[in-house]
Structure 1
């Protein structure tokens, strides 16, 4: 089991991972709220065209970097014929009962996955910008997927203001600090004199198109993608969208709070500056005139 360390009252991973958010109950509650928002916005837990198979046949499903484990539990509850596994470097703390057909495994996606060849029908990996290069992971995903099985990725992009057509200043500063932190190593690479975005959302399709196995054979076809722009803050007039926005506003504020130790102890910002930044982020989230949105890219592909 991955060891943990306490920093400023939060529990963090103490391993070779660069994952810089906490791994404690408070973080898993934040991930649970985010899970609900994504599920409502997308209209379900799975967009890949394998749902009918999950309903009618025994299948095996795994969520890599499963975080809070809420998606794993939902999928196990929705599809009782399926065996649903979650893999992460720490044990999830979902705070809800586990169905009999779900199980959590301690493991890291960096290296060989602890699963047999062609043993899974669906592999998911979502909101893991701390793992920017998917080349080797896709080789492993291709290895454990059965022919005709699916992989699905979900990744966030920078929050923007629908009213301004741009990003508001406090959230721009959060993105800048995130790009400088060890949480997102891709962002340290230079691109035309500018730091790359911490997000990998816009390059997921390319990763899948270029994915090859160990023998250099193409791994995936039938690649599809879809953007969802979730409201942040309860500004929408539609009550359902306002509810999603309220969830995502909570997610955004608590996400910034979760990065406090890595920003401050990493000397990216002083404690006083951080507290001021967090207040400004809260003000932006609560400013309904900004009409903030958080984009998420959903991508899925079929194993050849």
Structure 2
């Protein structure tokens, strides 16, 4: 780990030891935090990557008001994923160590498993280091709304590049991201992917657990997730998602209440129906005579009289 001494002078909490602790011992990567170099940061990151035996490299360069992050992964990674934006390219000084920890999670291929673990404790998980318009208070408010739904749903916002890296390199095909994040829990999961600029690029939904009485199946949930997505705002996306889920839950609750009422009243309705049938007198069938054959006009005159009369 390398941190330029002038960086530490400006930000005392940013030291080589602190960076190493944020990265973790299990992450095989090199991190450098430097002043703005003469060489373009992406080129410098690639040079460090080669110099370090093609191990993953995370380079943070000071840009005057924030750090720029450039992450280069291993040589076995497809060319399109060798340069990884990570959660965000622009990192505020106070968020540097958090960003390093987030990059470590990415490089270890633990983005989805970390999200799954976090969603076991909360209804809304926003991956650290994402560049969104969400505030901490807004995240707490939205988490309460998701937790208060009659049909609970857990939601995660994850970095797009990191998920693609994990799916294409670590897992060799991730499938439905929401299904992986949901795990074995009964509560369905929703995942939105966010790019380095904070744009919400995609959304996915897992299936509802089998046997769970719900009208919110995967098809309808996927439609809600897609309809709520606002590519320009994570706040607008999650707010719309919460509102749509609340509306859907209210509709389902009304139907469920009607079903419960009918199921409760059904035995009484059956008893009343049987009683009404027993009180109806049984009518005897009236015998109806067969009609007499028609008599033609003048029939008596036409009949012959007996002889001798």
TM over 0.5: no
Larger radius of gyration: 2
Higher helix share: 2
Relative contact order higher in (CA < 8 Å, ≥ 6 apart) = 1
Q: Report the TM range for the smaller structure's normalisation.
A: under 0.3
When normalised by structure 2's length, the TM-score is 0.27
